[in-house]
Structure 1
Amino acid sequence: MTTKKIKKSRGFHRFVATLLSILGTGLGMFYLAIPSYMIGGAALIITQGILIYFTMFSLGYLLIISGPLAIFFHILGIVFTVRSFQISHHAERTPTVAALPSKWRTLLSLALGATLLLLAVTMKYVDIIEPFTQTGENKRNVAAESEQYLEQKYGEDFQIQNISYHSIPSTEYTMEAISNRHPSVFFNMTKRPYEDVPFRENYLNALWESQLDIKLKPVIQKLYDDSAAVHSGVQEGNTDKMIKEYDDFKLNPEAVGDQYIRIIVFEDLTDSGLPLEKERVLQTAKVLKTVLAGNKASLDIEYFPSAMNTQRNLKAIELNDYMFGQDHFDKKTYEVQIEDIYKLMSTEDIQITPLHRDE
């Protein structure tokens, strides 16, 4: 092979290696198929994977540190790859064919690098950081202890799911739980070794909210012509008795604490239609008082364009109505916030706030 062809081939390899380094940390170093560079690329990928893992488990607290570091390691991989092609230009040294990697050697090393990068991105380096995340056996023991605690407290069977251990910012186990009796009710549970209480959980709150949502859904759909979604929140008030049915609060209103109702409406509301909408809000509050227990509840209504009334958005609201409002805040057109519907007497007490934004 002539010197001209070798230089052309090296130029092609330099372009591909640099492009791979830009697309994925360390991939260009694996493309070189040189052992020392492959080891360096692996070190960069593994280090970046650990940074991602700790960032996720710190709930984002370490992002201000890990973010710049991850970018630094990515750039470092690009620099090493580019520098590898900067050969000496002495007259007595001419690039040879042997200096270029073979096709199969390149493909094999590149596949290895891509696999390592995939493991890093998907945070599968559990064995590396196992001392900081607790062993699988410890997690299983905590899960069994959690299930036993719930079964003794509520007299039901439960299943623990998605248990995680966090050492930053505080030492704790977090998990999701589900009741076998009420499989649609998911709730969170936390175990903090340094606290006196064995566990913190919100099963009853999740259970009441689920029961109340079932009651509110047909009422709200009728008022808003199937163009609205509703979600509730219920806190316990002053009572020593365990209450599992929301309707039982009607026998003891003091037993229910703060309640909130959030309604998300998909409708092309305009300023000219606000007077009529206030009448509907007042009617909504009146109907809610016939369904709710207790004597205090707040009401938030958020309005979005009718084009957003899709099954995908309705599912997102069902999973987390608050995050839906935050994620689509820029599309919200109006909102109503009523501190206590039991003190609402007329439309004069209702203010619909426009959220028009400059186009």
Structure 2
Amino acid sequence: MSAKKERTDADHLSGTSLSDLLNLDDDDEQYYSDELDEQSPSASAKRKLASFLSVSGNDLCADCGSPNPKWVSANLGAFLCIKCSGVHRSIGVHISKILSVNLDEWTEEDVDNVIKLGGNAAVNWKYEHSVPDDCRKPLPDSSIDDRTNFIKRKYVMQQFFNPDEQLSCPFTPGALHCSSTGLNSVVEKKYLNSARLHSFGQAFLNSRKRKDAELKPANKSNSTAGMVEFVGCIKVNVVSGTNLVIRDMRSSDPYVMLSLGSQSVKTRVIKNNLNPVWNEKLMLSIPHDVPPLKVNVFDKDKFSTDDYMGEADIDIRPLVSAAKALENGNAKGPSKQLEKMDEGKDKNTHVDNGTITVTEGKATQDIALKLQNVESGELQIQIECVALTQ
């Protein structure tokens, strides 16, 4: 079957229901392209990242050893499987900022920064230097509880941290001797002594934290927040807002917060704008029991609590079902559309539910949201569901 014929046949499938899509004949030809878009500005950066991913050690998840990791902690330099990456998201971006090797946009600078961190071998030499015999590293089939426990001990509490890293001096003596600094020997000595004291003090504090954590019994209520089995990820592009409400004197400084289960991410703040354009992509892991995606808009205030500017809920279960159909090979062809989401409790929330579109192996949905519990305001959002295999 030619590509032109496939595209023509796919056009006749517009409006196909979800159940019909899930039961398409397996004889339909698959027409996906896994090659990078040569016109994309990030194409060469992604090729460099892919080359670094093939280096020995980077081809296995840094935390559990699963093969072919497709996620990376950009600030740690660790390549991870999707299950461990979900735990990393739950511990916060201040500790680990997770990006997709294939789905996120990369610049040469971003990739160079990851390469400078040394990859999985360097990360594990630093964070798994002193793993005790009674602590078992998770395996590819380990439970989410085991993954979460190990990852928190490894990166948050840093119980296995390499002491050589802790005692390293943050000031290089060679740099202090450089004539351009103008530092005399007295100042040099002062800085070096201060650096040594800081290093030993920090090492002592980290050691004390590790001992306290080992002696203190686990608090179930506080430790189970990240212990959720993930079935995939959603990539949310917060496009723009229209006719948002005024919360300052004449305008607002809006930002959008997205929540899925215990995870939350937010966009940047747009100053003095009731029709902001974000075009900002955010990623969230999908729990096994798929909750609604909660959307909240706030006005940023410097000297008081941020003002409320509306909310909405999105049922992402149909989109997840479409992505699973793709993953299982039941949805084939270059372009298909699914039925609109059922109206009901979301009837007043969605201005335009849009259709779920399967194009080039991706399940996406464009949604226009009417914000609730406020006088006015709409949001344009595009959601893409990322299956486990990606």
| TM-score range normalised by the length of the shorter chain | under 0.3
**TM-score, normalised by the number of residues in structure 1:** 0.22
Based on CA coordinates, which of the two structures has the bigger radius of gyration? 1
Q: Is the strand fraction higher in 1 or 2? A: 2
Q: Is the helix fraction higher in 1 or 2? A: 1
**TM-score, normalised by the number of residues in structure 2:** 0.21
